[in-house]
Chain A
Amino acid sequence: MRILGISGSLRRDSHNTKLLLAAEELLPDGANFELYTELESVPPYNEDRDTDDSPVEAVHLREAIETADAVLFATPEYNGSVPGQLKNAVDWASRPHRVSALWGKPVAVVGASTGMFGAVWAQAELRKVLKTAGARVVETEVAVGKADSRFDAEGELLDEEIREQLAETLELLLAEATVSPRLVAV
């Protein structure tokens, strides 16, 4: 089982990246975590470039999602919504419709912000976008508000309640990723 973590923040000391790394520590044996680190290099989505010769960065993104059993997104909130670069990456991964890397992919969304609310608007919008892209979105929310006080100098998550919420989210995400297609057919 391979879980891909995608942080919507490009900042070196990103709270959202730390949140993903905290999630990695909670994964059970047999589940491997990989942090996607190429978000900044994904070019703007352009249908003219979405061809057999697509930009290599977009191809890498699609392959990373395609080969993962599930994806955990962590998003900050920019102006009340999903950061443009993260939305752009989802747009690349959502095409071509119905055969895309995200189609039917189990995904979950968590988020951190330095404000009080923990990027809840961005999380809600990212869930909507992922559902529209045809992903199998786990209905959970982990909202880490005041994120600059939730991690120590080594990046360790200090809040036990958030750790429990992360563990529950991972449990649901892994459960979705374990269900084989068509095994639950009526």
Chain B
Amino acid sequence: MSTIEITEVVPTGTWASDPVHSSIGFAVKHMGVTPFRGSFKQFEAGLVDGKLSGSAPVESIQTDDENLTGHLLSPEFFDAERHPVLRFESTKIRREGENVTIDGTLTLKGVTQPVELRGTVTGPLADPYGGNRLGLELETTVDRTQFGIDWNADLPSGGRVLADDVKLSAQLELVEQA
């Protein structure tokens, strides 16, 4: 592999997420019919010498219902009091053209599990302010019960209110740091 190809795979240097133009969120099928979506308002993500990492305070979780947000923060779900931060650390990044696959670990509610993120990478491109930007759109699906988040309830006609599988997504606009 040549030096140029390595540069295409993972840019060197330090890149940090632009909070206004980045987001992370989750979606889980509710009542067996439609995905319910939420997000974490505050988070940090960065790419440092080819390693992607990110973290978010659990208390920054956002839904459209205050009572639901409270329930999600309680010990029955994320247990924000004892596990206030969720975290991702990459172990390996592979790029093929626009496609990227990132192996790493996700730590949630005190449990660390391996995950594989898949998605696309764009750039680096020059921005109007004299800097460089790199885009990453990533997705993975995790089984929430593997992290000890196993709340559920029965539906009258059978089945469960909340799916075990949760789709996690990240849209990162990373800015090269001077």
Contacts and interface: CB of A to CB of B under 8 A. Distances in A.
A33 interface: no
A97 B75 contact: no
Contacts, number: 48
B165 to A, nearest CB: 22
Contact of A134 (B66, B71, B82, B83): B71
Contacts of A137: 75-76
A131 B149 CA distance: 13
A181 B75 CA distance: 12
A153 interface: no
Contact of B82 (A131, A135, A179): A179
A97 B70 contact: yes
A175 to B, nearest CB: 13
B87 interface: yes
Contacts of B74: 103-104, 131, 134
Contacts of A181: 81-82
A32 interface: no
Interface of A is mostly: loop
Contacts of A131: 74-76, 151
Given A134-B75, A135-B75, A137-B75, A182 B81 contact: yes
B148 to A, nearest CB: 12
Interface in A164-186: 179, 181-186
A171 B141 CA distance: 37
A163 to B, nearest CB: 28
A60 interface: no
A132 interface: yes
Contact of B71 (A132, A136, A182, A186): A132
Which of A131, A179, A186 is most buried by chain B, counting CB atoms within 10 A of its CB? A186
A98 B76 contact: no
Nearest to A176: B75
A184 B110 contact: yes
Interface in B88-113: 107-110, 112
Interface in A105-163: 131-132, 134-137
Given A184-B110, A186-B107, A186-B110, A134 B85 contact: no
Contacts of B85: 185-186
Given A184-B82, A186-B107, A98 B75 contact: no
A107 B19 CA distance: 39
A104 B81 contact: yes
Given A97-B67, A98-B70, A134-B70, A185 B82 contact: yes
B75 A185 contact: no
A140 to B, nearest CB: 15
The 9 closest A-B pairs by CB, nearest first: A134-B74, A136-B75, A131-B76, A98-B70, A186-B107, A97-B70, A181-B81, A184-B82, A104-B81
Interface of B: 66-67, 70-71, 73-76, 81-87, 107-110, 112, 151
